[in-house]
């Protein structure tokens, strides 16, 4: 029981540290997808 909660705590800490990198990765992708849908070819 205690080991699981410890692991969960560590996972949350790692996720919190990774969040800024995740956002920096997602934002350009969203911009590219938006541009492709707005100005790209219409199929």
Q: What is the pLDDT of residues 4-42, one digit of tens each?
A: 888 999 999 998 999 999 889 999 999 999 999 999 877
- Say how many CA atoms lie within 13 Å of 34 toward its Cβ: 6
How long, in residues, is the chain? 43
- What pLDDT band is residue 2 in, cutting at 50, 70 and 90? low
* More reliable by pLDDT, 14 or 2: 14
Helices and strands in the chain, H and E counts: 1, 0
- Judged against a pLDDT cut of 60, whether residue 1 lies above it is answered with no
Give the global pTM: 0.50
Q: What separation in angstroms does the CA of 5 have from each of 2, 12, 24?
A: 5, 10, 29
Distance CA 42, CA 39 (A): 9
């Amino acid at each position: 029981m205690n080991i699981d909660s410890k692991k969960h705590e560590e996972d949350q800490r790692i996720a919190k540290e990774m969040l800024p990198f995740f956002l920096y990765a997602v934002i350009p992708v969203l911009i590219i997808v938006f541009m492709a849908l707005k100005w790209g070819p219409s199929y």
